[in-house]
Structure 1
Amino acid sequence: MNPISRKPVEVKRRRRSVHVGALACLPLFFPLEGRKVLLAGGSDAAAWKAELLAAAGAEVHVFAEALDPEFEALMTSGSVKGCFVHHDRHWNSRSFAGMSLAIADANDDQEARAFASAAKLNGVPVNVIDNPPFCDFQFGSIVNRSPVVIGISTNGVAPILGQAIRRRIETLLPVSLQDWAGLAQRLRAKTLQMLKPGGERRRFWEMFSDLAFSGKTGPDGDEDRLGTELMQLAGTDRPGHVTLVGAGPGDAEYLTLKAVRALQSADVILFDDLVDDAVLELARREAKRLLVGKRGGRESCRQDDINEMMVNLAHQGKHVVRLKSGDPMIFGRAGEELARLAEEGIPASVVPGITSASAMAARLGISLTHRDHAQSVRFVTGHSRQGKLPETVDWSGLSDCATTTVFYMGARMAGQISDRLICEGLPPRTPAVALSGIATGDEARWTGPVEDLASGVAGLGLERPVLIGVGSVFENTARLSVSPDLSTRPAGDFIERPVQTG
């Protein structure tokens, strides 16, 4: 039975209130080039602050009778930008004259209080290292792609969390971004002079940003030529293109970096029912979102309508992202979509995603090709185009005990799959698993012999997609104790169904 066809639905992004929420502190970026900064203390902690301040171009005046070896080495090597001036004595009230900032590594609260009081009397913002009550400002974690600089603050309450956030951001920003940002700085005046405000400038910077995140190490060849070519393209209608993107099995953290970058450059996103809202939240804020509702056995948009929509939008010069759950090249009808785009001469590219079978193996802690159990693995559709058991599949080959088989979209056919495999010679007690809502907050699983597959899948329900695995690799699934992936898994995010044994 064919699913009912429905029209695409535009999904408005949930916009937050226009009012700014409460801020623990105000993020500011303070230029220090050529300015004087007072630093009291010769410890390793003070040395790190000295290096940071000098890297921003400051003239760092260090007041300390003795320097730790690391600080002495820093004084000898110097800074990439600013400079150091060592005063071989303790600070006093006159030390603050002409200073833009004052930082100290104090031995105790009494020294910290005295330093902070002296700084405030002289009108100088103060920071006492690791002593928030005596600080006018804090040092956050930094992602340095200068002139792109990102500061992260937890208001001093969780510095390790700030460092973890910094590492996440660093994975999204290629090191070459520093070179591209420098080029942007050099081209800015020329773009203001040559391009009209609005569409032309926006197109220029979008193309420039695409290049910056393309993975290239930096601008090739003549910078002036590159800038001129981009400005010429910005002044004309930009050709549209389509990117097929795999959203993975559910959890947004399974997305690849390339997928995130595609979402952040999209003008229009055509997405399926199974794509999680958290994935869409990573998209460009201005992108139009259209739910095209591809879902087995449910009311769905016709594939021909989706194809025509991609073609029409691309002909309008849009960057269209066709966002599919899992991997678009595995049971995702990507072949039909790519063929239609090729007929129209529309450029298209594919960003692969983590397919559900791989996510299932990871969640169970099972190798689908464990050498003691399986020498091959097969991904098989659970139903044909007519909604029946597929007859073009080599069922005899699937009954091979040395093969691991994973059935996609097979929940409604679970009983027939079980019967057919057993009829072809697969032992009825062959281990099987079924997972519903893989890598989502309501993941559920069943394990048992293949002869009980129908009742096991029925117990999971049909509200979420079900993936079925059959083979001896699943023999010890019920006894495995896999450590949860704490970085991605919400508490209580799967239900272990009781195994029915006969």
Structure 2
Amino acid sequence: MTSAPRSPREAAPARMGRLAKLPLFMDLTAKRVVVAGGTAGAAWKAELLAAAGADVAVYAAHPSDEMLALAVRGTEAGSVTLHRRPWSTDVVAHAAFALCDAETDGEAWAFRCAAKAAGVPVNVVDKPAFCDVQFGSIVNRSPVVIGISTDGAAPILGQAIRRRIETLLPPSLADWGALAKRIREAVTERLKPGQERRAFWEHLSEKAFGPSPTDGDGEALLAEARRIAGGGDGRGRVILVGAGPGDAELLTLKAVRALQSADVILFDDLVSADVLELARREAKRMMVGKRGGRESCRQEDINDLMISLARQGKRVVRLKAGDPMVFGRAGEEIERLRRESIPVEVVPGISAGIAMASALGLSLTHRDASHSLRFVTGHAKSGELDETLDWRGLADPETTLVVYMGGRTAAGIATRLMAEGLSPETPVVLGYAIGQAEQKLVPIRLAGLLAPGAVTPGAPVVIGIGRVFEPAVTAAASLPAAATGG
């Protein structure tokens, strides 16, 4: 039964969730900062403040060895001046920032009162109740600086997050940030606002994760920006992006960059909220859902919408579950876009069949069980079983078969395969909501697909058929009945 078409509809814009603290970045260049206390912790904070260009005045009657060493060696930026006496209320006046490493709550309260009377923002080390601002973990690729806060709940977690980010950001990012700062004025003067400038910054951002820039990279990027922006004729572009099976961590870096640069995102029903959360918050999001047996947008309407938006100069991301090139009608979209001279790019994603194998911990091409792998669609254009498929070849016991969109035709698929000689005992796995929190893996035998209700109606399912799935079926058979199916 063919469902009625529906029109693309705009999804609600992404909303910013509650923030425990607002991250702000303070310019301390050549500004006076007061540090009260001479501990090793205070020395670290003084060095950090000086690294941001501050002229740090430290007041400590009994400075630690770390503080004495800092005062002797100085800092690369800013300055540190040690005053070997306790702090007093007058030293806070006219400061841009004040910090205290207080031994008692009484000293912390007194320092806070002095700072507030002078109108100076204050931090008291490890005493958040007395702080206007707090320090977090820092990833330094200056001029790119990333601050991480856990609102004081778990500083060690903040450090772990910093280490993870450090591994993702190459040191060369600092050089690209410096280049961006040097040529920003030239970009503003020579490139038109909107798509042309954005194309420049997006291209620079992509290169920033590679080797450090060379002397000629600035000019080359300016020229490339005009080309990427469509030769100055106002054209946008379309990027077909594979959203994978649902787990946002399975996205490629290129897919994330495409989402972060989009003006408009046209997404399918099966795209998870976690994936959409990675998109640029300013991007308009439009649901163009396509689900078998349900009300869907017509493909012609989706094509027309992509073209219309691209002609407005928009950067359009067509976000598809799985991989765009696997049973996603990407071929029709690419053909139409090229006919209209709309630039189009494809970013692959992890297909559900591959993700199911990963979830099972099984190789789809294990050499002891399979010599070929075939992906097929479970139904023809009519929605019925596709009788034109090579059923004899699909029934080869040494072939691993992955069936997409086969929920309604599962019994017919099993009947045809067995008619061609495939054993009724052939292992099968039904994969529901692969890669998502509600993922469910159901191992059965081929003959089991003939039973009424063997496949949950209406649920997106991938069906894996072949000897490579024997370990999953065998393991399920050894579990208690209540433990199977998940």
TM-score, scaled to structure 1: 0.79
Specify the alignment match of 1:488 in structure 2. Answer: none
**1:295 pairs with 2:297:** no
1:477 to 472, 476, 480: 472
2:412 to 413, 416, 420: 416
Q: Give the Å deviation of 1:328.
A: 0.6
1:201 to 176, 186, 193: 193
Deviates more, 1:156-165 or 1:431-440: 156-165
Q: Give the Å deviation of 1:253.
A: 3.8
Specify the alignment match of 1:323 in structure 2. Answer: 319
Equivalent AA in structure 2 for residue 81 of structure 1: A
**1:11 pairs with 2:10:** yes
Q: Give the Å deviation of 1:157.
A: 3.3
User: Tell me, what secondary structure is at the counterpart of 1:341?
Assistant: helix
Q: Give the Å deviation of 1:191.
A: 6.0
Superposition map of 1:119-138 within 5 A: 119=115, 124-138=120-134
Deviations along 1:101-159, whole A, 9 cap, x unmatched? 33233444455455545555665443221122332321134454544545444443343
Superposition map of 1:29-428 within 5 A: 29-64=25-60, 65-68=62-65, 78-88=74-84, 91=87, 96=92, 99-109=95-105, 111-113=107-109, 115-116=111-112, 119=115, 124-160=120-156, 162=158, 178-189=174-185, 200-216=192-208, 217=210, 221=216, 223=218, 226-227=221-222, 236-370=232-366, 373-391=369-387, 393-428=389-424
What CA distance in whole angstroms lies between the structure 1 residues aligned with 2:162 and 2:119? 32
1:463 to 458, 466, 469: 458
Q: Give the Å deviation of 1:75.
A: 5.6
Distance 1:109 1:209, change over 3 A: same
Q: Give the Å deviation of 1:78.
A: 4.3
Deviates more, 1:425-434 or 1:366-375: 366-375
User: Tell me, what secondary structure is at the counterpart of 1:448?
Assistant: strand
What CA distance in whole angstroms lies between the structure 1 residues aligned with 2:79 and 2:406? 68
**Conserved? CA contact 1:268–1:318, under 8 Å:** yes
Equivalent AA in structure 2 for residue 61 of structure 1: A
What CA distance in whole angstroms lies between the structure 2 residues aligned with 1:400 and 1:73? 76
User: Tell me, what secondary structure is at the counterpart of 2:5?
Assistant: coil
TM-score, scaled to structure 2: 0.81
Figure out how many residues of one structure are paired with residues of the other and give that number. Answer: 476
Distance 1:386 1:203, change over 3 A: closer
Q: Give the Å deviation of 1:246.
A: 0.5
Structure 2: stretches of 5+ with no match in the other structure: none
Structure 1: stretches of 5+ with no match in the other structure: 482-494
Equivalent AA in structure 2 for residue 357 of structure 1: G
User: Tell me, what secondary structure is at the counterpart of 1:294?
Assistant: coil
Distance 1:238 1:62, change over 3 A: same
Q: Give the Å deviation of 1:333.
A: 2.2
What CA distance in whole angstroms lies between the structure 2 residues aligned with 1:67 and 1:373? 68
User: Tell me, what secondary structure is at the counterpart of 2:261?
Assistant: coil
Distance 1:295 1:123, change over 3 A: closer
Q: Give the Å deviation of 1:440.
A: 3.1
Q: Give the Å deviation of 1:242.
A: 1.7
Equivalent AA in structure 2 for residue 10 of structure 1: R
Distance 1:234 1:348, change over 3 A: closer
User: Tell me, what secondary structure is at the counterpart of 2:318?
Assistant: strand
Deviations along 1:270-324, whole A, 9 cap, x unmatched? 3222223443344334444443332223343443443444344434433222211
What CA distance in whole angstroms lies between the structure 2 residues aligned with 1:231 and 1:385? 42
Q: Give the Å deviation of 1:435.
A: 1.8
Deviations along 1:398-432, whole A, 9 cap, x unmatched? 44444432211111121122223333333322321
**Conserved? CA contact 1:191–1:231, under 8 Å:** no
Q: Give the Å deviation of 1:261.
A: 1.9
Distance 1:211 1:367, change over 3 A: same
Equivalent AA in structure 2 for residue 208 of structure 1: F
Distance 1:140 1:442, change over 3 A: same
Deviations along 1:228-267, whole A, 9 cap, x unmatched? 8858979943333221100111233433332222123223
**Conserved? CA contact 2:429–2:473, under 8 Å:** no
**Conserved? CA contact 2:13–2:281, under 8 Å:** no
What CA distance in whole angstroms lies between the structure 1 residues aligned with 2:167 and 2:462? 31
Equivalent AA in structure 2 for residue 159 of structure 1: P
**Conserved? CA contact 1:148–1:181, under 8 Å:** yes
Deviates more, 1:312-321 or 1:161-170: 161-170
What CA distance in whole angstroms lies between the structure 2 residues aligned with 1:391 and 1:76? 84
Q: Give the Å deviation of 1:7.
A: 5.0
Deviates more, 1:166-175 or 1:122-131: 166-175
What CA distance in whole angstroms lies between the structure 1 residues aligned with 2:295 and 2:328? 17
Distance 1:497 1:309, change over 3 A: farther
Deviations along 1:311-370, whole A, 9 cap, x unmatched? 444344332222111011112222333233334443221111111112222333333344
Equivalent AA in structure 1 for residue 435 of structure 2: A
What CA distance in whole angstroms lies between the structure 2 residues aligned with 1:68 and 1:376? 69
Distance 1:404 1:235, change over 3 A: closer
User: Tell me, what secondary structure is at the counterpart of 2:417?
Assistant: helix
Superposition CA RMSD, Å: 3.9
What CA distance in whole angstroms lies between the structure 1 residues aligned with 2:396 and 2:260? 45
